[in-house]
Homo-oligomer: A and B are copies of this chain.
Amino acid sequence: MAAPEGQEAIVAEPQRPITNILIIIAMQTEALPVVNKFHLTEDPHSPFPQGVPWVRYHGTYKDLNINLIWPGKDPTLGVDSVGTISSALVTYAAIQALQPDLIINAGTAGGFKAKGASVGDIFIVSDCAFHDRRIPIPVFDLYGVGLRKAFETPNLTKELDLKVARLSTGDSLDTTEQDESSILANDATVKDMEGAAVAYVAELLKVPAFFIKAVTDIVDGDKPTAEEFLQNLASVTAALDVAVEKVISFINGKCVSEL
């Protein structure tokens, strides 16, 4: 969310407690512990069109109606539908179908040790940008980078003692020299494959969105990314889910402006 739009949304209904939250999680391994923790159930009547693999889990926790959307397995290949296109599509379709008050995109990420990240760290994102959309024409270059502020959650961040960092998003798990240079220009501490796409759609449709990212691998370390990612996925996901649980508990009963 760019600050002006986010603030407009808040000003409109400053005192109404949040009732309807949308959690977007790209991988099943990341999503299922949250589904189980909050006893969410899969919607037998999908709000999405026939053919798309997107899965809605829902349930209630105290005063909150929780919708967790997982983009599902690719219909042809059977792997999680990761990346910016799927996450943009589910964000769009879920906002249309479910009219959430707030979006939380949670997931794993690569971290940069040069910026202070370690495996297992949990970050709240201050800003998102893309690092693999290079369009060297004036103004199109800025559109490609797509820098956006996340919705600010200073009270939540302080209360849960979470670190704050900038996020850079791209559709590859690895990083080329050009990606690294763009990530550096984005001043990012963490790197994922969805965040900036969710932020783009949330801003278009004026829904506050924030981001919780847990570090599975060190991009500027000496281990191969894919290997380190797979090695740490289960344990880091467990830490992420504890954080998501605390975040949801904190949100309950509050207005968006109190986060």
Residue positions of A touching B, CB distance < 8 A:
2, 49, 51-53, 74-85, 88-89, 92-93, 96, 130, 132-137, 139-140, 142-144, 170-174, 176-178, 197, 200-201, 204-206, 225-226, 229-230
Given contacts A171-B144, A206-B51, contact A226 B82 (CB under 8 A): no
- The answer on a CB contact under 8 Å between B178 and A176 is yes
A253–chain B nearest beta-carbon distance, Å: 28
Cβ contacts under 8 Å, A81 to chain B: 143
17 contacts between A and B (CB under 8 A): A51-B204, A77-B142, A77-B143, A81-B143, A82-B140, A85-B85, A85-B201, A88-B88, A88-B89, A89-B201, A92-B93, A132-B170, A133-B171, A134-B172, A135-B173, A136-B225, A171-B171
Contacts of A177 in B (CB 8 A): 176
In the bound complex, do residue A49 and residue B96 qualify as a contact, i.e. CB atoms below 8 Å apart?
yes
Is A176 in contact with B176, judged by CB distance below 8 angstroms?
yes
A147 nearest CB across to chain B (Å): 10
Assembly CA distance A109 to B139 (angstroms):
20
Partner of A92, one of B92, B197, B230: B92
Question: Is A132 a contact of B171 with CB atoms below 8 Å?
Answer: yes
Across the interface, which residues of B come within 8 angstroms of A93, CB to CB? 92
